[in-house]
């Protein structure tokens, strides 16, 4: 790399990433996909003023969340990470904070055993972090794999991300537990491996909110999902509806034709795994929520989808 501020910044990032960055130096990254496995690729953009605000999070938290959003999509495919590429488009006003952003990206990648294998740096009018992740799996989990009779499970406890955001919008400090869910959610990569190995065959991660993601599963699989609203795992201070509409949780919804060993999962990961409903045959894809056998609105807006 030659002289200049851009290269200085790249050098600063590589120094901070250390062992987390691997195989850089050529025009492209070379990765080995384990024999018999399939390549899984996903990309995700985080845009200032759309996905985050500078005054709400540290540069490291912004980087961490952007990388986690991408890694969470690998989790949703039950894929193991092979590598991450990070494209940063930055205004001059952000230049001093880019090493901090890189710290957060590096932390998210390292925590999931994902090497950073490439990237790009350019100028723009707003900070944009475009994170591409590559992974592999023998049998990637799909949204379209839900079948009638499947039990529906969700990892973790929902609603914290929305409560933190609401507090910030009111100009208040979020509850620390809610703040951790908003600023520091882990991608459920290892959890997804366990769930797939134990029978889960359809998965999706919660970026838009439980209710919305259930809608995507139902539509992709052509089934009706019946949810017991009383079983939705709710963070302290939230409600079933608050939990169902809380976005960017990065927890997983999985369905399985066999009962999953909830206690074994919780022992392994120190994380809740909750059965919240069941899939049924239907003429039209739908998500229906009940509380004590009475239909309730989970904030989905509508219950039916055109396929
Ligand atoms: Mg997703």
Count CB neighbours of 208 within 10 A. Answer: 16
| Spacing, Cα 205 to ligand 1 middle (Å) | 5
What's the CA gap between 27 and 30, in Å, rounded?
10
Of 44, 48, 94, 38, nearest to 72 by C-alpha is 44
Phi-psi region of 171 (alpha: psi -120 to 50; beta: other; left: phi over 0): left
| Spacing, Cα 299 to ligand 1 middle (Å) | 19
pLDDT band at 1 (very low <50, low <70, confident <90, very high): low
Residue-averaged pLDDT of the chain: 93
| Spacing, Cα 92 to ligand 1 middle (Å) | 31
Specify the pLDDT at position 2. 66
| Spacing, Cα 292 to ligand 1 middle (Å) | 31
Paired with 21 in beta bridges are: 116
When pLDDT is averaged across residues 155-165 and rounded to a whole number, the result is 97
| Spacing, Cα 203 to ligand 1 middle (Å) | 9
| Spacing, Cα 217 to ligand 1 middle (Å) | 11
What's the CA gap between 271 and 7, in Å, rounded?
42
Specify the pLDDT at position 26. 84
Which residue is associated with the tokens 């992974």? 135
| Spacing, Cα 305 to ligand 1 middle (Å) | 19
CB 280 within 8 A of CB 214: no
pLDDT in tens, 181-231: 999 999 999 999 999 999 999 999 999 999 999 999 999 999 999 999 999
pLDDT in tens, 38-61: 999 999 999 999 888 898 999 999
When pLDDT is averaged across residues 114-131 and rounded to a whole number, the result is 95
Specify the pLDDT at position 300. 64
pLDDT at 83 over 70: yes
């Amino acid at each position: 790399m030659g002289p200049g501020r851009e290269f200085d910044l790249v050098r600063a990032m590589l120094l901070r990433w250390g062992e987390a960055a691997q195989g850089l130096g050529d025009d492209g990254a070379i990765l080995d996909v384990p024999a018999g496995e399939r390549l899984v690729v996903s990309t995700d953009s985080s845009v200032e003023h759309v996905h985050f605000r500078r005054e709400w999070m540290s540069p490291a938290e912004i980087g961490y969340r952007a990388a986690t959003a991408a890694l969470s999509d690998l989790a949703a495919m039950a894929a193991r990470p092979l590598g991450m590429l990070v494209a940063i488009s930055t205004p001059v006003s952000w230049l001093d904070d880019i090493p901090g952003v890189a710290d957060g990206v590096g932390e998210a990648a390292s925590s999931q055993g994902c090497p950073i294998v490439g990237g790009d740096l350019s100028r723009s009018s707003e900070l944009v972090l475009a994170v591409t992740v590559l992974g592999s799996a023998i049998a990637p989990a799909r949204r379209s794999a839900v079948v009638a009779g499947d039990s529906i499970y969700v990892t973790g406890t929902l609603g914290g991300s929305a409560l933190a955001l609401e507090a910030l919008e009111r100009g208040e400090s979020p509850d620390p537990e809610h703040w951790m869910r908003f600023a520091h959610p882990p991608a459920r990569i290892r959890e997804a491996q366990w769930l797939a190995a134990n029978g889960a065959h359809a998965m999706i991660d919660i970026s838009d909110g439980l209710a919305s993601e259930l809608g995507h599963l139902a539509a992709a699989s052509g089934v009706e999902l019946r949810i017991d609203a009383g079983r939705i795992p709710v963070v302290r201070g939230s409600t079933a509806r608050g939990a169902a509409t809380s976005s960017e949780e990065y927890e997983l919804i999985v369905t399985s034709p066999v009962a999953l060993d909830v206690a074994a999962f919780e022992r392994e990961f120190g994380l809740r795994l909750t059965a919240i409903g069941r899939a049924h045959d239907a003429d039209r894809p739908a998500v229906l929520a009940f509380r004590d056998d009475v239909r309730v609105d989970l904030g989905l807006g509508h219950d039916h989808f055109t396929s």
